[in-house]
Amino acid sequence: MIVHVDMDAFFASVEQMDNPALRGRPVMVGGGDRGVVATASYEARRFGVHSAMPAGQARRLCPQGVFVRPRFDRYKELSGKVMEVLRAHSPLVEQASIDEAYLDAEGLERVYGSLPALVCSLRCAIRTATGGLTCSVGVAPVKFLAKICSDVNKPDGVFILETGDVEAFLATLPVRKIPGVGPRMAEALGKFGIRFASDMRRYSPDFFRTRFGRPGLVLLERAMGRDPRRVEPVREAKSESAEETLAKDTRDLEQLRRILLAHAEKVGRRLRSQKLQGRTVTLKVKYADFTQITRSKTLDAPVASTQGIYGVARELLEAVSLKKAVRLLGVGVSNFGAPRERLTLLSLLNGGRSPEFEGEKRRLKLDRTLDALRERFGEGVVARGALAMHRRDGLAQGQDQRQELDPQPSGRTPEAGNLRG
């Protein structure tokens, strides 16, 4: 059996716990007129407010709501305490996000007496360790069902799906509840009369392969109650990214370049702190009309330096249309770990030295020195000259996030930017 633990309205619940004046009130964690809601309390959700909703729309739906600026350091601190509790209960814990995780419960009934006793111990320990936060727990034979079950009795609830009850559960499970099925997929399935998981069994694997490709076959497996994924205690990061909604839509290329440089520095510092380098740099642009594009380049040599990331992102930006004003700009790095064979070949072709590799090596040496200075003396001790202007551009709420990006092939890293201490 697999346990899925999901903290209840995590960010908003932390704010209500830390500030008694917010308890019982509709709280929305976010900020700015043009930002989005990161998390809404259950009091706010009654008005139709939900995560990722534009802040303006949330204010219209819930004018009496309270907006609170996010405190990510506090959320990370409490998330760490939650994960410590889970790891104290089982050696097999997989953190899925800042506020949710899977736990392998195999054999733990012998320790705790029963699955309900294990779940009770988990919930009580989490509440104590965090100072009063609640979580919802789902238990099922496979991963995707455990995640669905944790949502059944939210908030502060438990749902245990025994193996013998899986068939009946799937018979009435709407396909929209299956992780990975969005509105478009649900609409496409509905055209074939597929509204519940059990409806999928009327069609063959070839039907799903032809119409939906590999995702269709995975979906069919879910409809059968199958999920071969195990709880993996260590998950490798797939990408690092940063994005921000601008305070004002703009087509000013210089301003957009400065924003890219700030993002590149933020992403680069995270990569360097984790000793990671990536070969694919992705640019994300959302226009004022909310249409969105991504552009990517995959490099011969991996990058983690601010200049390396920024150079590629800038080149991608200069290649996209700015006929429409930009609302949001983001940069991401993925495809970690360059194949050694490719780097070796590049080195041999260039007389034993790859220009791309050597250039990135020099940039990383400088960045690590700057990182060490900031770590020791504070953020303001050294800064890139262009970023001083960036800070005056008045950006709205930033939404840094880790996400998977869709890499596209080819490209080399240009040099860019300057430094001022």
**Spatial contact of 64 and 41, defined as CB atoms under 8 Å apart:** no
Q: What distances in angstroms separate CA 408 from CA 268, 280, 313, 316, 320, one per listed residue?
A: 20, 8, 13, 12, 15
Q: How many CB atoms lie within 10 A of CB 406?
A: 11
**Cβ 405 vs Cβ 369: under 8 Å:** no
Residue 53 vs residues 11, 60, 247, 326: alpha-carbon distances, Å: 15, 11, 17, 19
Cis? peptide before 155, omega within 30° of 0 = yes
CA distance 264 to 147: 34
In 3-state terms, what secondary structure has residue 41?
coil
Residue 258, number of CB atoms within 10 A of its CB: 21
* Pairwise CA distance, residues 174 & 196, whole Å: 4
Contact 404/292 with Cβ under 8 angstroms?
no
Alpha-carbon distance 72 to 68, whole Å? 12
End-to-end distance of the chain based on CA atoms, in angstroms?
55
From 43, 100, 240, 360, active-site residue? 100
Distance set, CA 109 to CA 87, 96, 125, 164, 367 (Å): 16, 24, 17, 18, 50
Please say if 404 is a catalytic residue: no
Task: Point out the residues that are catalytic.
Answer: 100
